[in-house]
């Protein structure tokens, strides 16, 4: 929907730039020579939309044009109109946000070719039109606003950024010198490894001191993300690295395994086109979790004896029995028959 200007400054500028012929003259007369000299004779094409934050539209408006260079490549000219009576010190930072939105909208305009558009973004030349009385004293570059020495400014100059790629085959020391950080980084690096086993978990958990504040978040992450790791492997890894608290920690992970099973059931239901996938997946996961907990607490015979009752049970029954098993002293207490 077209936004009609309510500010008189905006209205006049809009009337001026609405005609491509006039917009071409404005841009050629006000852009720096290295840009102006490379523009083709084709008229600039106005592009729809505004990139100004809604709460700033009383004092700012904008126009975006697509022009062509002599070599046929496009260049965007972003015109920001300042309606304030004096310079706005926030302009360099605001402009950076607006340019990011222009590039993002350009790249995301359709799914086909999205990756290629992100790798070949057109240059954007910002032009601020300001009609206040005081001279424009705001820095003309964002770099001039950054309080840093030259080596740090060099890192800012090209809008570069750092990437820490956590790889599963890194040497242990390269993750971090801090054992807790090393454990978390290693856990993240192994998230998509499909053949992890008990020894891998032991290696990972040994880095994290028992009782550390990151202990539970790390275990929950393992339970939720490591789809190829069996619960028995987690239990045995805990028994070796935290022998006094293994049972307690295993019980805290029961809910996470239940959620993981439920999500698998949902996904399976979607793939098979079954509406009942969520409920059935949840029920099956709850039944298997309950049977495993019965075996761990009361032994294999108790598990086998309970199977005929547990496997066909409803979700409601299974959830009730899962709640009871935490305090049950015998298997009969789980089913309320003790």
Report the mean per-residue pLDDT for the chain: 85
Beta strands in 159-250 (DSSP E): none
Please calculate the CA angle 212-215-220 and round it to the nearest 5 degrees.
Answer: 165
Average pLDDT in the 46-54 region? 86
Over residues 184-218, the pLDDT tens digits come to: 999 999 988 888 888 999 999 999 898 899 988 88
Residues 6+ apart with CB under 8 A from 3: 50
Q: Where are the domains of the chain?
A: 8-157, 172-335
Average pLDDT in the 89-104 region? 92
Q: How many angstroms separate the CA atoms of 56 and 72, rounded?
A: 35
pTM: 0.62
Q: How many angstroms separate the CA atoms of 254 and 305, rounded?
A: 21
Coil, helix or strand for 151?
A: helix
| C-alpha closest to that of 324 among 313, 312, 333, 315 | 333
Residue 96 has pLDDT above 60, yes or no: yes
Q: What is the pLDDT of residue 70?
A: 94
Average pLDDT in the 25-44 region? 92
Q: How confident is the model at residue 121 (pLDDT cuts 50, 70, 90)?
A: very high
């Amino acid at each position: 929907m077209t936004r009609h200007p309510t500010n008189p400054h905006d209205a006049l500028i809009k009337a001026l730039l609405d005609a491509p012929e006039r917009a071409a003259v404005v841009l050629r007369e006000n852009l720096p020579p290295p840009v102006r000299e490379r523009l083709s004779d084709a008229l600039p094409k106005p592009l729809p939309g505004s990139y100004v934050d809604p709460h700033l539209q009383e004092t700012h408006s904008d126009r975006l044009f697509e022009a062509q260079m002599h070599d046929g490549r496009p260049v965007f000219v972003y015109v920001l109109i300042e309606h304030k009576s004096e310079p706005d010190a926030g302009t360099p930072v605001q402009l950076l946000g607006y340019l990011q939105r222009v590039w993002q909208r350009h790249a995301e305009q359709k799914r086909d070719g999205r990756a290629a558009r992100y790798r070949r973004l057109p240059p954007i030349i910002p032009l601020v039109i300001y009609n206040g009385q005081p001279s424009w004293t705001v820095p003309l570059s964002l770099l001039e606003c950054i309080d840093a020495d030259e080596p740090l400014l060099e890192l800012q100059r090209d809008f570069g950024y750092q990437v820490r790629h956590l790889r599963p085959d890194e040497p242990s020391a390269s993750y971090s010198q801090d054992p807790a950080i090393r454990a978390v980084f290693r856990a993240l690096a192994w998230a998509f490894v499909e053949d992890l086993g008990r020894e891998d978990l032991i290696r990972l958990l040994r880095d994290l001191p028992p009782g550390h504040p990151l202990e539970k978040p790390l275990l929950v992450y393992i339970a939720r993300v490591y789809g190829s790791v069996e619960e028995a492997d987690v239990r045995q890894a805990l028994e070796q690295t935290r022998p006094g608290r293994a049972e307690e920690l295993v019980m805290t992970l029961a809910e996470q395994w239940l959620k993981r099973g439920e999500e698998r059931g949902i996904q399976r239901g979607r793939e098979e086109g079954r509406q009942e996938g969520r409920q059935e997946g949840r029920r099956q996961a709850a039944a298997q979790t309950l049977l495993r907990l019965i075996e761990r607490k009361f032994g294999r015979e108790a598990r086998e004896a309970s199977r005929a009752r547990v496997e066909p049970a409803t979700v409601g029954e299974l959830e009730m029995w899962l709640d009871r098993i935490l305090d049950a002293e015998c298997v009969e207490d789980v089913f309320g028959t003790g």
